[in-house]
Structure formats: structure tokens, C-alpha cells
């Protein structure tokens, strides 16, 4: 059977218009793996409490990072796809979980090229239900409805893969300033409830317990071991909270405010839950987070970019994908 690859990232609004942001947020937040309450409660919360006000605020944030080519997340994902395609002799497609280019179109384009065996690559190093799992759900739903004659496989979470750890660590080493006081690993947060669900499922299935929070701490441990950083030089936190439920701790914004009083004046921040720079890294961390830290008395803030289209990252992905292609 003819093989092909589909990279899948989260997705962005089609533009920074408030209406486009609203449509995007509706699709995103109505996903039962993102807001995991019964449909009627989710619908009420999203339509009555989030969508009337959040799109305007989010559109303003998107405007600050938008490029002539569009959303950074999509631009970086497209460049990554192009560079990977140059190294692969099977088709490589790109799709987004929410909005465009859609997963359905991504599969259709591969199908039209004769592909019947697809490897889905969710561009998330750590696994959780609101990222990797919802990609798998959507792909399988589309396969069942429209592409019954194709075979689908998924790349697993790669947060602890030595190849990934090496490129992440090297990307950090290149940007770490001399005499930094602390390196902060800030990961996208999730509600505590989501991790508790994962823990319960792991206990009943007898599988190893790998909550999202554990995977993030393990990423930090492996990278800092590689870089041989002493324990007082780094810490881990979680960003991007939404709503009133408790999210996994510690919270990035709290640490950024507390650091200067603890003597952390020269801070570097990396964001390893994201492989492509996006709203959450460029606006929330590199703009808002920087401002918060400096306002609290910090002196130097270094944002360390995501892997984006780094050559060593493209090479690692190509190596993994060629392994599957030749299998």
C-alpha cells in the first residue's frame, strides 16, 4: 500500500477578525476533550460565558503576533512540512485539529495522490486528551465516515525520546544567556481533572502512569540532565489557564511575579509543550510574561524559541518517518 505522512498541529483562526476568532474558539472549546462537561453544560458555558467577550480579547492578542503570511503556528508548520517533504520520497501533508487546513482535506489530498497507508504525526511532545487524543478521535471519525479503505497509524508522544531531548536541549543551550539565574520550563497547562482522569484510567488498565504533568516534569529532567544544570538553576511551571477550575500547578504567571523577590533577576524561559511558536509562546510568554517579570523587578528576560523549522529537528523527524516508511 502506498504510504504518506500527515503532520497535525492545533490550528489558529483564519484571520484576526473577531468573528473568525469566535468561530475558531467555538470549534476548539466545543470539543468534548477540551471542555469535558456534558454537551449542554459545555454549550452553555461556551456560548454564554466565553464567546461573548473572549474573541475580542484574543483577536487583540493575535494581532500582536500575526505575520504577513498569517498565524505563526501555521506559518512554522507549513515551513516544517516543506522541509520534511524535501527529505522524504513519500507525500507529506499538513492539517490542523481546528479550522484550516482541515484534517479531512489533509487526508483527502493524500488519498488523491494514491496514499492508503497514513502515519499521523500529532505535533505535541507530551500526550493528553485535549491535544493528542482529540487529534486521534477526529482522524478516526473521518476515516470511519469517508475513508474506510485506508490504514492509519499514529506517532506516539515523544517527550522522552533521546533524539527529541537532544535537539530541544541544544536549542536551549544556544540561547541561554551567560550568568542566568534561572531557566523556566513553561508548559501549556490543563485542568487538574484531566490529569486525574488519566491517572484513574492508568490504574484500572494496569498501564504505566504517565499523566501529562509527569511527562512535562520528565521532559525537564531529561533536558536538564543533558545540559548538566544544577537543580537550583531551573524549574517547571504551567501556563494558559482558562476558567475557574484548578489547573495543574505551579502557575507560570505566579512564578514570574515571585521570581524577582527571590533574587531571580536574569531569567530564561522555554516552552517545550509547543513545537511551533504560537500565540501562547509569542504573546503570552515573550510579551505579557516578559512585562510581568520586568514590572515585578526582573532585569533580563530571554525567551527561547520553539523548535519551529530548525535543521536538527527536521532531520530527527525525517529519521523517524523514514524508519516507518521503510518498515
User: Which of these segments, 106-114, 170-178, 188-196, 221-229, binds ligand L6N33NVT (CB under 6 A)?
Assistant: 188-196
Cell numbers that stand for 180 in this block:
542566568
281 interface partner picked from Fe ion, ligand L6N33NVT, none, CB below 5 to 8 A per type: none
User: Which of these segments, 86-94, 124-132, 133-141, 198-206, binds ligand L6N33NVT (CB under 6 A)?
Assistant: 124-132
The residues, ordered by sequence, that sit 6+ positions from 302 with a Cβ below 8 Å of its Cβ are 175, 176, 177, 180, 267, 268, 269
Q: Which 63-82 positions form the footprint of ligand L6N33NVT (CB under 6 A)? A: 71, 73
Kindly tell me which residue out of 6, 115, 119, 190 binds ligand L6N33NVT, with binding defined by CB under 6 A.
190
280 is a contact residue toward ligand L6N33NVT (CB under 6 A): yes
Chain position carrying cell 493524500: 110
**171, 188, 190, 275: which is closest to 236 by C-alpha?**
188
Q: Are strands 182-188 and 151-154 parallel, antiparallel or unpaired?
A: unpaired
Kindly tell me which residue out of 5, 80, 278, 314 binds ligand L6N33NVT, with binding defined by CB under 6 A.
278
With beta carbons less than 8 A apart as the criterion, state whether 303 and 254 touch. no
C-alpha angle 119/124/125, rounded to 5°? 105
The residues, ordered by sequence, that sit 6+ positions from 157 with a Cβ below 8 Å of its Cβ are 124, 125, 126, 127, 132, 210, 215
Chain position carrying cell 531551573: 234
φ, ψ (nearest 5 deg) of residue 229:
-90, 135
Q: Are strands 234-239 and 300-303 parallel, antiparallel or unpaired?
A: unpaired
User: Which of these segments, 63-71, 90-98, 234-242, 295-303, binds Fe ion (CB under 5 A)?
Assistant: 234-242
188 known ligand binder: yes
240 is a contact residue toward Fe ion (CB under 5 A): yes
Q: Which 44-63 positions form the footprint of ligand L6N33NVT (CB under 6 A)? A: 54, 58
Smallest distance from the beta carbon of 191 to ligand L6N33NVT, in angstroms? Answer: 6
Cell numbers that stand for 247 in this block:
489547573
Q: Which 256-315 positions form the footprint of Fe ion (CB under 5 A)? A: 280, 284
Alpha-carbon distances, residue 268 vs 187, 299, 319 (angstroms) = 14, 11, 30
Give the CA dihedral 129, 134, 139, 141, nearest 10 degrees. 100
Smallest distance from the beta carbon of 190 to Fe ion, in angstroms? Answer: 9
Chain position carrying cell 523587578: 297
Smallest distance from the beta carbon of 78 to ligand L6N33NVT, in angstroms? Answer: 14
Site size toward ligand L6N33NVT, by CB under 6 A: 22
Binding site for Fe ion (CB under 5 A): 240, 280, 284
Binding site for ligand L6N33NVT (CB under 6 A): 10, 12, 25, 34, 54, 58, 71, 73, 124, 128, 130-131, 188, 190-191, 240, 242, 273-274, 278-280
Residue ranges of the annotated binding site for Fe(2+) are 188, 280
Amino acid at each position: 500500500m502506498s504510504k504518506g505522512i500527515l503532520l497535525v498541529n492545533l490550528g489558529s483562526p483564519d484571520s484576526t477578525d473577531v468573528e473568525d476568532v469566535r468561530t475558531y474558539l467555538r470549534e476548539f472549546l466545543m470539543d468534548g476533550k477540551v471542555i469535558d462537561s456534558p454537551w449542554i453544560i459545555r454549550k452553555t458555558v461556551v456560548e454564554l460565558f466565553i464567546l461573548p467577550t473572549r474573541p475580542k480579547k484574543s483577536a487583540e492578542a493575535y494581532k500582536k503576533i500575526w505575520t504577513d503570511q498569517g498565524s505563526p503556528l501555521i506559518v512554522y508548520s507549513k515551513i516544517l512540512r516543506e522541509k520534511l517533504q524535501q527529505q522524504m520520497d513519500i507525500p507529506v501533508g499538513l492539517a490542523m485539529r481546528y479550522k484550516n487546513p482541515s484534517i479531512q482535506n489533509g487526508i483527502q489530498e493524500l488519498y488523491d495522490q494514491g496514499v492508503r497507508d497514513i502515519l499521523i504525526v500529532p505535533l505535541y511532545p507530551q500526550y493528553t486528551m485535549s491535544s493528542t487524543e482529540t487529534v486521534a478521535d477526529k482522524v478516526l471519525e473521518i476515516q470511519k465516515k469517508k475513508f474506510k479503505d485506508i490504514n492509519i497509524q499514529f506517532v506516539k508522544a515523544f517527550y522522552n525520546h533521546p533524539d527529541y531531548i537532544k535537539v530541544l536541549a541544544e536549542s536551549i543551550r544556544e540561547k541561554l544567556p551567560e550568568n542566568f539565574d534561572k531557566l523556566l520550563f513553561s508548559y501549556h497547562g490543563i485542568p487538574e481533572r484531566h490529569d486525574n482522569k488519566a491517572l484513574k484510567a492508568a490504574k484500572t488498565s494496569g498501564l504505566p502512569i504517565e499523566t501529562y504533568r509527569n511527562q512535562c516534569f520528565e521532559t525537564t529532567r531529561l533536558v536538564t540532565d543533558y545540559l548538566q544544570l544544577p537543580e537550583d538553576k531551573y524549574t517547571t511551571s504551567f501556563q494558559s489557564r482558562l476558567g475557574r477550575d484548578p489547573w495543574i500547578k505551579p502557575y507560570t504567571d505566579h512564578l514570574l511575579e515571585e521570581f524577582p523577590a527571590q533574587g531571580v533577576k536574569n531569567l530564561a524561559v522555554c516552552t517545550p509543550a509547543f513545537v511551533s511558536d504560537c500565540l501562547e509562546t509569542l504573546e503570552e510568554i515573550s510579551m505579557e510574561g516578559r512585562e510581568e517579570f520586568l514590572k515585578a523587578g526582573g532585569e533580563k528576560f530571554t525567551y527561547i524559541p520553539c523548535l519551529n523549522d530548525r535543521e536538527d529537528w527536521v532531520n530527527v523527524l525525517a529519521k523517524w518517518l523514514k524508519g516507518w516508511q521503510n518498515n
